[in-house]
Amino acid sequence: MDFLSKKLGRGKKETKTTPAMAIGELRKMEELFAKKQEHLEEKIKAELEAARKNGKTNRRMALQALKRKKRYEQQLQQIDGTLATIEMQRESLESASTNASILSTMKLAADALKNAHNQLKVDDVHDIIDDIAEQQLLAKEIAEAVSTSIGTSDLDEDDLLKELEELEQEELDRNLLQMPASTNAPLAACPTVPTSLPDSGQQSRSKPDDLDDELASLQKWAA
């Protein structure tokens, strides 16, 4: 039985023809028929030339040449029809192969997307988003806490202003004490002391208020 199967070819495994294999075979057929076309066209030209050459001298040879030319033209016409069919079939296979590749790629993408969605549930997604929002809020609070100055919140602003005024007064007193030593200029602000005694009439016209004002000026300058 096995012997008969081998002889009849039943024991061989059938190989599936892929679109790429079929397209390759069709291209080979196109090349073969294209060469036959060129060969027939050359023969047609040769027979036409023989008919013209023997048209007046040997009509029988001229007619035979025309018959062969007619036969070659019929073969060429058949080849043209066959080539058109092969080209159409090849283009259809190429289009089908391209569509199959596109659909296969789209199916792989759909399966990958489906697997990705199966790994995550809607509740899990919401939990992840809530965790992210919570961590962002925590990071914001930490940044605000770090950026806050340490030890300055308990200070009283009135105490600081009072201390600043004391420092300014000390600086003013220091400048007044150092002014004569640093400038060595005559005291222009010192009031003029009279060198002569005023007459009796002038003394009678002096008022106690004027003396008080001069004494106040002297004390202010000494301070």
Whether 149 is covered by a domain: the verdict is no
Residues 53-112 have pLDDT tens digits of: 888 888 888 899 899 999 999 999 999 999 999 999 999 989 988 898 899 899 999 888
Q: What tokens does 59 get?
A: 């009509």
Neighbouring CB atoms inside 10 A of 40's CB total 19
Whether 91 is covered by a domain: the verdict is yes
Domain hosting 88: range is: 17-103
Whether 216 is covered by a domain: the verdict is no
Query: Under DSSP, is residue 151 helix (H, G, I), strand (E, B) or coil?
Result: coil
Whether 44 is covered by a domain: the verdict is yes
Residues 154-207 have pLDDT tens digits of: 567 788 788 888 888 888 888 888 765 544 444 445 455 555 545 544 444 445
Domain count, the chain: 1
Residues 4-14 have pLDDT tens digits of: 455 445 555 56
**Domain CATH for 54:** 1.10.287.1060
Whether 75 is covered by a domain: the verdict is yes
Cα angle vertex 205, ends 200, 209, to 5°?
A: 130
Whether 120 is covered by a domain: the verdict is no
Query: Under DSSP, is residue 222 helix (H, G, I), strand (E, B) or coil?
Result: helix
Whether 64 is covered by a domain: the verdict is yes
- The CA dihedral of 35, 37, 43, 47, to the nearest 10 degrees, is -170
Output the pTM of the full model. Answer: 0.43
